[in-house]
Amino acid sequence: MEIKIARSELLKSVSRVQSIIERKSSMPVLSTILFDASGSSVRLSATDLELGFQETLSATVIQEGSVTISGRKLFEILKESNSETFQIKGRENNWVRLSDGVARFDLACIAPDEFPAFIEPEGVPMVQIDSAVLADMISKTIYAITIEEAGFKLSGVFTERVSYNGNYFLRMVATDGHRLSMIDKAVPNIDSLDLSHGVMIPKKGMSELSRLASEGGALEIGFKQKDCVAKKENALLVMRLLEAKFPDYQAVIPKDTAFSISLKRTSLLEAMRKMLILSNERYRAVKITIEKDVLDLVSANPDLGEVQEKIDIQYSGERIEAGFNPRYFIDVVQAMQSETIRMEFTDNSRPCVIKGDEDEGFIGLIMPMRV
């Protein structure tokens, strides 16, 4: 195989797959990118066996064929080059020569026939979704996915189709058992996808989907059996869905609100960041007290000291006192756009629900903790 290609386009594509390629795998070929050159284009493929990515780029194909190249090394080489064009040439015994006209690299590679077969699922029903909408949905849920190895059934974003007021919506929900984030968005033709029972998209897949959506424009997404498929221009992303059963999340969402306060999003964010300064693994709670026109925040660590901040609010109801993890508030509020947010409470043993008018369809839920 031998090709000439625009360095900037190749760098953009190779950078996309850096988080997909496996660096510490028992299969060294998973740390490589497969190049298939034919006609006037080259197709790049990367996979970790659970998630696969392909992209087709225009290139001057001097000789058709296939090679594998270390994804990490190729990325570093392209990043350091200043040339407009880049040449890749396969050599004998699975060696590959990379050149930008100034520097030359000869790399020992792996035989391309060892690369796992990448099969695009056929007949997948697809709908078009605005990239900005999808990116917003992911950013408002991905932080709540559990990071505990024992929490397999919570290690993804539960995605389903819901209907109310005569309309269909795409819903994403994530929880780690201590907090929950949920968002609904109207997506044209979402009723054509078989999502009535919901699917679980793994965190790594969600991160790649977010990366694809962050580039803007329209994106197609679809589901079939055990796979989620996303397409954007010449790029294809295939994700293996988790087979875990997501818990009944509706049971923890309060149906009624007894108390509600409104405050500036930035005020709460800045205050919670201060509460976090003296926290550690043993002491990481903020005590929230709400009484007449004041939101009082206190975080105490016997080893370091105490931090307190008061925020002026409009409130004339009963005194509320509860403990929470300040990190959870930071994660929720950082993902929101509303200038003014609402904190809703039922009692000190029930979760705090956070909403905002400019974050339509979204709720962040945080469970209380002992202080």
Q: How many CB atoms lie within 10 A of CB 58?
A: 13
Per-domain residue ranges of the chain: 2-114, 126-250, 253-366
Q: Which CATH architecture has domain 253-366?
A: Roll (3.10)
pLDDT of 150 > 60? The answer is: no
CATH number of 126-250: 3.10.150.10
Identity at 350, one-letter amino acid code: R
pLDDT of 273 > 60? The answer is: yes
Give the pLDDT band (50/70/90) at residue 35.
Answer: very high
| pLDDT tens-place string over residues 245-265 | 899 999 999 988 888 999 999
Which range (72-81, 141-150, 175-184) has the least confidence?
A: 141-150
Give the pLDDT of residue 151. 62
Give the pLDDT of residue 108. 96
Q: What percent of the chain has pLDDT over 90?
A: 84
Q: Is 109 left (phi over 0), alpha (psi -120 to 50) or beta?
A: beta
- What pTM did the predictor assign? 0.92
Q: Do domains 126-250 and 253-366 have the same CATH topology?
A: yes
Residue whose C-alpha is closest to residue 53's, from 237, 322, 319, 252: 237
| pLDDT tens-place string over residues 108-130 | 999 999 999 988 899 999 999 99
Average pLDDT, the chain: 94
The domain covering 2-114 belongs, at the CATH homologous superfamily level, to DNA Polymerase III, subunit A, domain 2 (3.10.150.10)
Q: What is the mean pLDDT of residues 207-227?
A: 92
Whole-angstrom distance, CA of residue 187 vs CA of residue 171: 10
Q: What is the mean pLDDT of residues 231-244?
A: 94
What single-letter DSSP state applies at residue 161?
E
Give the pLDDT of residue 260. 92
Give the pLDDT of residue 291. 92
Which range (9-13, 26-30, 148-152, 311-315) has the least confidence?
A: 148-152
Give the pLDDT band (50/70/90) at residue 149.
Answer: low
Give the pLDDT of residue 281. 83
pLDDT of 1 > 80? The answer is: yes
Q: What is the mean pLDDT of residues 326-355?
A: 95
| pLDDT tens-place string over residues 83-114 | 999 999 999 999 999 999 999 999 999 999 99
pLDDT of 320 > 80? The answer is: yes
Residue 299: half-sphere exposure toward Cβ, Cα within 13 Å: 22
pLDDT of 23 > 80? The answer is: no
Phi then psi dihedrals of residue 113, to 5 deg = -70, -5
Confirm if 187 and 144 have CB atoms less than 8 A apart.
no
Give the pLDDT of residue 57. 97
pLDDT of 68 > 80? The answer is: yes
Whole-angstrom distance, CA of residue 239 vs CA of residue 205: 6
